[in-house]
Amino acid sequence: MKRLLRTREIWLGAAVAAIIIATELRAPGFGSLRNLMEVFNNTSILMILALGQMAVILTRSIDLSMASNLALSGMLVALTNAAYPGIPVPVLMLMATGFGLVLGAFNGALVWRLGIPAIVVTLGTLTIFRGLIFVIAGGQWVNADQMTTDFVQYTRIPVLGLPLLSWYAIAIAVGFFVMMTRTSIGRAIYAIGVNPTASVYAGIDVGRTKFLAFCISGALSGFCGYLWVSRYVIGSVEVANGYELTVVAACVIGGISIAGGVGSVAGALLGALFLGVINSALPVINISPFWQMAISGAAIIFAVVLNGRTNKSRGRLILKSAETVK
């Protein structure tokens, strides 16, 4: 029980609950199941992205290209949908995921094969992917009237009261939990984050595991590309601009150590939910939405300070991610 109280997931969950209750007191109705489901639905994409980012951060890398990957994959399926309305939406989903996977694999290959630090690679691909959106779309937007009903509905159809979008997030979270805790790949991802050198001696291919982590984050970004375009019914160059750092922020708040090897699926989900709850609580208690950015910034700083106090292992290692463990 004492150990349980010390885990940050509990505290984070309590913080999320506290914000919900405090908001409910100021604005009754915020805590209703209906509204909370709405908040959850609004945060689904961030949760999925945070999981992908978690896999990468655990391996002592970082993927700054997620938002650009999302926007590019989203634009691709939006254009495909506009040009060939006959293609069924599940095929488009697969297409977005597959395309995102390829982009992620490109990142991963550069990190794995050439040993370039992940932060540099993804900084580069962040701008490249973003630029490619403009090229493939010719600078055009894809608007609501160009998308088929199915394309838009596949994130909205309610199943057991929850929209499909939320179910995707739940399914991916469950899948991720199983992968991270019950499979050898999940074990390997944690292991190389904790101690790359020891992992090599344990027979884990460090480079290949990082590559796989990037493939995972890429595939999830691609899938979210479809979700985003369908959810907000817009495909443009500006989609999710700057969102990569929000995703990292969700992970940091969720207690995933930037030094690698420390973090849990529940943490990533709660970190995302924390940001999501704040974002939806501010307007209902009549705080200008312009406060949002400063508050999430303060939350990140607070979370990092808290992190630094609980586990005193100084997490400065992100810049050392390319340790020569060949």
Partner 1 sequence: MNDQSIAAPAGRKIPDRLDSPAKAAVFSWPSLLLAVAVGIFILNSFASPYFLSPWSLSDATFNFTEKGLIALAMALLIISGEIDLSVAAIIALASTAMGLALQFGVDTPGLVAIGVLTGVLCGMFNGFLVTRLGLPSIVVTIGTMSFFRGISYIVLGDQAFKGYPDSFDFFGQGYVFWVVSFEFAFFLVCALVYYVVLHRTNFGRQIFVIGNNPVAARFSGVRVERVKFILFCLTGLMSGLAAVALTSRLASTRPSIAFAWELEVVTIVVLGGVSILGGSGTIQGVVIAAFIMGLVTFGLGLLNVPGIVMSIFIGALLIGVIALPILISRLRQRMAK
Which residues here bind partner 1, judged by CB under 8 A?
A: 62, 64, 110, 114-117, 119-121, 123-128, 130-135, 139, 237, 241-242, 245, 248-249, 252, 258-259, 288, 290-301, 303-305, 307-308, 312, 314-320, 322, 324
Rounded to 5 degrees, what are φ and ψ at 80? -60, -45
Rg, Å, the chain Cα set: 20
* Degrees to nearest 5, angle at CA 97 with 75 and 132: 35
Question: Least distance from C-beta 297 to partner 1, angstroms?
Answer: 3
Question: Least distance from C-beta 123 to partner 1, angstroms?
Answer: 6
SS3 254: coil
- Residue 50 or 179 having the CB closest to partner 1: 50
User: CA 75 from chain center: how many Å?
Assistant: 18
**Nearest CA to 181 among 247, 267, 105, 102?**
267
Question: Least distance from C-beta 236 to partner 1, angstroms?
Answer: 11
DSSP per residue, 55-120: HHHHTT---TTHHHHHHHHHHHHHHHHHH-TTS-HHHHHHHHHHHHHHHHHHHHHHHHHH---HHH
Question: Least distance from C-beta 264 to partner 1, angstroms?
Answer: 17
Please tell me the total number of residues recorded for the chain in this structure: 326
- Residue 149 or 288 having the CB closest to partner 1: 288
Question: Least distance from C-beta 165 to partner 1, angstroms?
Answer: 25
- Residue 120 or 185 having the CB closest to partner 1: 120
Contact 260, 57 (CB under 8 A): yes
Task: Pull the structure tokens for residue 17.
Answer: 């609950």
* Degrees to nearest 5, angle at CA 198 with 194 and 199: 75
